[in-house]
Structure 1
């Protein structure tokens, strides 16, 4: 193809500027001075080169594959944000701490003064709260999204709520009720109490929700370690073929639908449909036993954000796309 002189000169000038800018690492001001052109014209020609396809930018950072994985998760599942933590060893506890730290960073980047924050309990949320620096200054209110559970102090929802509020410099309220009552009637009586209603109403109007995503099998799952359930309840849950995970103690099936069970009729906490209405719902979960529960939570549309580890993210993505069962 014949190139008229003006085109040739223009292309040659752009090529020279590209070499100086990208290969010789000269600034736009330096290039302009050397070529007798204004910095504004150099900037305009660089933009023209990118628009005309003269420049291809390839990024080769150590964790670029994680950013690609995050974008794929967002595209396939409809998440607003995905945060994937690399696996740097075989220690599950260390991995949970890494996920908790990533969750803390994301959380602090997205909260604002005046926010109401509701949260659940559990190991991953405990790791997140532990990673929050104790010198934050936010005018926020932190409340439980469910009743308290028996177990260690550092994973109980009321304890986590109080610890998070202290670290953020905000205020907290406790929910003085069990996560699961002994009967539906007992639940109704508790929900009728003004103090319980006030806390759950705040949770219902939260701007940010922090939730764990739990497994329901085997019987050694964290849910059964911390919730005050009878052996009969535990057997009924683990033998229920529909239930594949839990959020705020609500059992969900593979499509994220609440399972029709006696347990779900006895929960004191935020309803899952109300969880969907919260503007920023951050789900935090890691390790392979959470793959099925995470997929269920995503299919149910409960999460805006997922923070997890690399291996779990890859498995979630593969099975979400293909529908391969566990």
Structure 2
């Protein structure tokens, strides 16, 4: 079952190429340029589409439901791009891998030589790194959007930056600073240190940003991997309407950065500082990310989202409910 599901990402690429070629009339070299892949790969995908019986009078694909969800997300939000990956029932790890595969391909389609790519830490971003398979080395610079938390492979953003650069064949520039300073004054001092300021200035000018979206609910929360918060504070945050973690910032359900003391001590860029990026890709998997993603969408922090089918279905239902209530 898992192996069959893992073929969906290849099927998605075939479907995309067939639509561009047969329905939109693009030539193979135009498709290669648009999707940032070689012409030979485009030709190979078209050939595979023929062999799989996907080219008849119309293009048939297992992605009809997923592409319909993608269109609903783009139509109902400020997103420019949405990619919905299949949910593997009862297997959160494999579902995350599916989302990582889809996000990895979207990232490769989005990057160009000379780009700066800025990323956060997190399990979802780690899944993207794990599933990157570029056809060639890319002349890109990868930088962190935040300071780091050591101890886990996915909270150490410098570790992920280094791995991402290695996978892409580019170079990494690191921020050697903790995620949280002891005070706002210390935060300002750290961020103004020349080596750190240089990297954060690069991050501000990034063409592409890749970010996870964290939850703050006590059960399964990824925010508390970054900073141990007392149980009383956890309940208080939820009670105050804090719904998400984005770039290590706590975000309210309306999309406003929360007035919480830890936010003032972050050694990190704020969401507003990457608003000029060509592509800001958010990655999330699982039903527990529905409320956090909705908060981030309310804040208009993203222009691209990659999420799994079950979670997107629940997100659209909740958006519809809120619209009806309003």
Q: TM-score, normalised by structure 2?
A: 0.77
| 2:283 matches 1:311 | no
Report SS of the residue matched to 2:146: coil
Larger deviation: 144-153 or 71-80?
Answer: 144-153
Deviation sequence 1:217-248 (CA, Å, 0-9, x none): 116512212x1445379547645522110101
The aligned runs of 1:234-245 (5 Å cut-off) are 235=234, 238-245=237-244
Q: Distance in 1 between matches of 2:290 and 2:78?
A: 17
The aligned runs of 1:29-68 (5 Å cut-off) are 60-68=60-68
CA contact (8 A) 2:108 2:134 kept: no
- After superposition, the Cα gap between the structure-2 partners of 1:166 and 1:182, relative to the gap in structure 1 and judged at 3 Å, is same
Q: Distance in 2 between matches of 1:137 and 1:289?
A: 36
Alignment length, in residue pairs? 268
Q: Distance in 2 between matches of 1:89 and 1:164?
A: 29
| 2:182 matches 1:177 | no
Instruction: Report the equivalent of 2:97.
Output: 97
Report SS of the residue matched to 1:153: coil
Q: Distance in 2 between matches of 1:229 and 1:103?
A: 29
CA contact (8 A) 1:214 1:245 kept: yes
Q: Distance in 1 between matches of 2:195 and 2:239?
A: 34
The aligned runs of 1:141-156 (5 Å cut-off) are 141-156=141-156
Report SS of the residue matched to 1:61: coil
Q: Distance in 2 between matches of 1:234 and 1:277?
A: 34
Instruction: Report the equivalent of 1:264.
Output: 263
Q: Distance in 1 between matches of 2:280 and 2:173?
A: 19
Q: Distance in 2 between matches of 1:65 and 1:254?
A: 28
Deviation of residue 321 (structure 1)? 2.8
Instruction: Report the equivalent of 2:207.
Output: 207
Instruction: Report the equivalent of 1:187.
Output: 187
Instruction: Report the equivalent of 1:289.
Output: 288
Report SS of the residue matched to 1:274: helix
Q: Distance in 2 between matches of 1:119 and 1:237?
A: 29
CA contact (8 A) 1:150 1:228 kept: no
CA contact (8 A) 2:283 2:305 kept: yes
Gaps spanning 5+ residues in structure 2: where?
Answer: 1-56
Q: Distance in 2 between matches of 1:66 and 1:219?
A: 28
Instruction: Report the equivalent of 1:17.
Output: none
Instruction: Report the equivalent of 1:3.
Output: none
Deviation of residue 154 (structure 1)? 4.4
- After superposition, the Cα gap between the structure-2 partners of 1:275 and 1:240, relative to the gap in structure 1 and judged at 3 Å, is farther
Q: Distance in 1 between matches of 2:169 and 2:213?
A: 27
- After superposition, the Cα gap between the structure-2 partners of 1:131 and 1:237, relative to the gap in structure 1 and judged at 3 Å, is farther
Q: Distance in 1 between matches of 2:266 and 2:64?
A: 42
- After superposition, the Cα gap between the structure-2 partners of 1:205 and 1:162, relative to the gap in structure 1 and judged at 3 Å, is same
Report SS of the residue matched to 1:318: helix
CA contact (8 A) 2:216 2:234 kept: no
Deviation sequence 1:35-86 (CA, Å, 0-9, x none): xxxxxxxxxxxxxxxxxxxxxx876532201111100110001211100011
- After superposition, the Cα gap between the structure-2 partners of 1:161 and 1:306, relative to the gap in structure 1 and judged at 3 Å, is same
RMSD, aligned CA: 2.0
CA contact (8 A) 2:206 2:274 kept: no
